[in-house]
A and B are shown apart, each in its own frame.
Chain A
């Protein structure tokens, strides 16, 4: 499986983060962090709680503006970005504490993910006729494909607020996939899941990467999962990068071991 992925992977860099610094008031969340993500790879960001992992994702998709540093996505360099622009350029994400549209059904949630792909004018939409209807049908097909892919047919019409946590996470992944992103950011996709759910989610992540060639950056605390899934790993601690490389390398890095196990000073 890893070989298959390596074959498709290129050395093209889809996203480069350079010297990014972010602080809230006087608190430094990220200090001078640089790393890159290659096209087609699964890149993990790990680190103890409060290391700045989620902040980093928020910088990448434009929720936070870094004070210093640059981000280059598909050759375009910028310092700050607005979330909906990031989305329109092909960055999708999920959230640590699931941010779904709770009152809406699974299907509607996924259809919202298609928003940027739909272009027919307001005039047709109002009458729900002609081109707008054709467009709606076409996008509905895509949404159904995603539902099949994630095996959530049975909850298609259920308001997502009623679903158990594991399924909500899956719907959230579906909504992100509906955007057909080039870069998918997953913030702890397996948090709070049992073993079986984790295995399912791992399988989906690998399948997304294989079938659609989507580049994935994920934050995850389950080290076993991270080592299995990812091609390369960045390790953050107190907002600084302490290691970066292939799983085997990171696993044996002394600073990483210290950060995770604690060290006697």
Chain B
């Protein structure tokens, strides 16, 4: 009974008892959630268009952030470095299309998946070669990202919001919204969904697969850059950062590999679940549940909806 009380009743009493802490936890969950959504979005874009689970997405985040900071350290002004980093992501997209996707067209998905492993190691090597392997500090100030925090009295206590978190949440939300509209409502968006559905048919109506792939990988690259800036500003820019890509996996399972709204909602559920779980239930098992709780949440959803919350319903006429 005691255990049941601690699991089912006590946390909620705590939430009610100290609403300021509850709100603070919700906020942190929300911020991490939008960033998770952004990471997941990078995967969804590429999965939709080329049917590949892009293992290199995590390293793309690192590489983008590293290029930005590395160029700045070599004396390039911050905003010029930002533009050059975007340019570098475009070159990666172009190179991937030419050297990886095009020669492997029509190969089984698993081959393409393995090729993204290769891409991962190429990017790791390239990053270390050019910018070195030591951790760097994100140039948040130079990019005019806000710092400090806002503290206000509310909910019978103090709630503290980091300005960089607010910026991250706003930028991530805007980016997600813009991408969602772009891919749902425009010609290129329709072309992208068409490619995702049937390569053969897309080709027959005059869509160039190569062009779509470059667009999609480039978009995923820009998403990686934004993720890298925001996540880098919260910790540091190092190769360890690619681990956050693993956080995208439960988000994708939850939201469905092909759904942009799924990535958003999935990201938020995982972000909030993780923070609330850690704060209110973590103590029961000695804490530290944040790192695996996301997978548990995803697993439970998987039992009920194998295609994810927003995954495309598998329609098959027999």
The DSSP consensus for interface residues of chain B is helix
In the complex the two chains form, is B201's CB within 8 Å of A99's CB? yes
Select from chain B the residue with minimum beta-carbon distance to A124: B186
- Which of A11-19, A111-119, A195-203, A239-247 binds B? A111-119
User: In the complex, what distance in Å separates the CA atom of A207 from the CA atom of B25?
Assistant: 65
Contact of A126 among B178, B190, B198, B204 (CB under 8 A): B178
Q: Which of A84, A103, A118, A175 contacts B193 (CB 8 A)?
A: A103
CB of B208 closer than 8 Å to a CB of A: yes
Name the residue on A nearest B258 (C-beta). A103
Instruction: Specify which chain A residues have a CB less than 8 angstroms from the CB of B117 in the assembled complex.
Output: none
Please give, as numbers and ranges, the residues of chain B lying within 8 Å of A118 by CB-CB distance: 187
Partner of A83, one of B178, B186, B204, B317: B204
Decide: A103 and B312 in contact? CB cutoff 8 A.
yes
What is the number of contacts between chain A and chain B, taking CB atoms within 8 Å? 98
Among the stretches A38-46, A157-165, A208-216, the one at the interface with B is A157-165
Contact of A115 among B187, B312, B315 (CB under 8 A): B187
Judge whether B185 is part of the interface by a CB distance below 8 angstroms: yes
Q: Are B197 and A102 in contact (CB under 8 A)?
A: yes
- Is B100 interfacial (CB-CB < 8 Å)? no
Q: Judging by beta carbons under 8 Å apart, are B186 and A84 in contact?
A: no
Among A112, A120, A164, A179, the most chain B Cβ lie within 10 Å of the Cβ of A112
**Cβ–Cβ contact B200 & A95, under 8 A:** yes
Q: Which of B178, B194, B208, B315 contacts A112 (CB 8 A)?
A: B194
Count A-side interface residues using an 8 Å CB cutoff.
Answer: 40
Cα A104 to Cα B198 with chains together (Å): 11
Known: A115-B191, A122-B188, A125-B186. Contact between A102 and B315, CB under 8 A? yes
Complex interface bits, A87-114 against B, C-beta within 8 A gives 1, otherwise 0:
1100011010001111110001001111
A175 CB, nearest partner CB in chain B, Å: 6
B37 to chain A, nearest CB (A): 19
Report the minimum CB–CB distance from B274 to chain A (whole Å): 31
Partner of A161, one of B181, B187, B315: B315
Q: Which residues of A contact B317 (CB under 8 A)?
A: 161, 164-165
Report if A8 contacts B (CB, 8 A). no
CB–CB A179/B194 < 8 A = no
Residues of chain B within 8 A (CB-CB) of A103 are 193, 196-197, 312, 315
State whether A162 touches B315 (Cβ < 8 A): yes
Interface residues of B (CB under 8 A from A): 178, 181-182, 185-188, 190-191, 193-194, 196-198, 200-209, 312, 315-317
Question: Sorted from nearest, which 4 A-B pairs have the closest CB atoms?
Answer: A87-B206, A161-B315, A99-B201, A101-B197
List residues of A whose CB falls within 8 A of some B CB. Answer: 61, 63, 82-84, 87-88, 92-93, 95, 99-104, 108, 111-116, 118, 120, 122, 125-126, 128, 132, 136, 159, 161-162, 164-165, 175-176, 178-179
